[in-house]
Chains A and B, each alone.
Chain A
């Protein structure tokens, strides 16, 4: 009788533990949906350290480094369901802190419209710039709206005049490596 009761108690406690742990584990999809909202992403402060951010993004980030420069690493944030990139964070390798971020605006999202996206940054004064094409064979470059003061940049599709990405960087930030004159503008490799 006593042995049966002890066994029953053991089964109940194991079931309870399993239930509790199942509740506490958030799937990558769940974490992605919870964290990857525009307002939440926009609120991430430049200068935050990698270690402070890792818990939020760990389940759906891929870390990349750029072989042409040892200055920066990137966290590519992908939707676990589609595998498509939604955003990226750029870290300075020396300080391990966030120096840039990009939010990709998908078709159907409200920020796709320039007026909606601009309204998100009421303090910013955006200047339109057409970047020259780096490819002699392809004559159109990208169009961006930049607020030099805050470092907020919007990438504009020339075909549709819609916002395709919103980016943040700290204009006052200086990388120690850059100060040494190691300036590499070619990030593709």
Chain B
């Protein structure tokens, strides 16, 4: 093992007993960094709310029974990836931690590569692309959790969002699916034009990561999120 992973000392090895109350002990693991295998020593990670780990830990699944896209292959979580995802989740406001998310699952490559993540109703999929170094995992997970949150909203919240952000329901002519018609402009990301739930997830993401831009581009959404979630709705 030692031959496979040259020792890189980030810190002296810690034992669980070395960790303070509320800290999470992370045992040592090997990973690849910039193409080279390295070994990360065990350490204590700050975990201000002790229950956080417990909340998510059982939701990391190596396999789920059903996935709608059979060409996407499920894979096992590496310790490093799991730890990175946990760290990202730690930073996301707990208001977004939807209890209806039953599993976070690893997949190799999205059929819509370079898509990094998907929400499939109860499941969040993280593809290989989510762990490339130019990706912000916290941001990706925020977006997917916002989808889960939208599904839990009561009608009144959805209607209020539609009204504030200019979504309307119309029945087009024959041979057309039911349609939500969106506002003409003012989307923080283009794919928000497709559906209000995508628009919502984009806006939640922007509220946490680029609030000033959201306030400029979609002031109605910024106002709506601020009013509903309050001042404590921010990244940790």
Bind each other:
yes
Which of A13-21, A31-39, A181-189 contacts the other chain?
A: A181-189
Given contacts A155-B178, A189-B184, contact A102 B194 (CB under 8 A): no
- Asked if B117 is at the interface of the complex by the 8 Å CB criterion, the answer is yes
Q: Tell me the minimal C-beta distance from B139 to chain A in angstroms.
A: 13
Complex formed: what's the CA distance from A106 to B181 in Å? 19
Task: Tell me the nearest residue of chain B to A151, going by C-beta.
Answer: B174
- The 0/1 profile, CB within 8 Å of A marked 1, for residues 192-220 of chain B is 01110110000000000000000000000
| B12 interface residue (CB < 8 Å to A) | no
> Is B162 located at the chain interface by the 8 A CB criterion?
yes
C-alpha gap A74/B155 in the complex (Å):
22
B230 at the interface (CB under 8 A from A): no
Indicate whether B35 reaches chain A with its CB closer than 8 angstroms: no
With A90-B171, A155-B178 as contacts: A188 and B117 at CB distance below 8 Å = no
Is the CB of B169 closer than 8 A to any CB of chain A?
A: yes
A139 touches B118 (CB 8 A): yes
How many Å lie between the Cα of A82 and that of B69 in the bound state? Answer: 41
Chain A residues, CB < 8 A from B119: 137-139
B182 located at the interface, meaning its Cβ lies under 8 Å from any Cβ of chain A in the complex? yes
Name the B residues within 8 Å of A136 (CB-CB).
110-112, 115, 118
CB-based contact A187/B172 at 8 Å: yes
- Shortest CB-to-CB span from A73 to chain B, Å, is 10
A-B contact count (CB 8 A): 129
Contact of A137 among B117, B159, B168, B171 (CB under 8 A): B117
On A, residues with C-beta under 8 Å from B are 64, 66-67, 71-72, 74, 76, 82-85, 88, 90, 92, 99-102, 104, 106-107, 131, 134-140, 142, 144, 151, 153, 155, 158-159, 164-165, 167-175, 178, 185, 187-189
A-B contact pairs, 24 of them (CB 8 A): A71-B173, A72-B173, A74-B170, A84-B159, A84-B160, A88-B171, A90-B171, A99-B173, A100-B172, A102-B170, A106-B155, A134-B195, A135-B195, A135-B198, A137-B112, A142-B177, A144-B177, A165-B178, A169-B176, A187-B176, A187-B179, A187-B181, A188-B181, A188-B193
Binding site for A on B (CB under 8 A): 68-69, 110-112, 115, 117-121, 147, 151-152, 154-156, 159-160, 162-163, 168-174, 176-182, 184, 191, 193-195, 197-198
Known: A99-B173, A100-B170; 11 extra A-B contacts, CB below 8 A, are: A66-B181, A85-B163, A88-B171, A100-B172, A102-B171, A107-B156, A138-B197, A139-B120, A165-B169, A173-B174, A188-B195
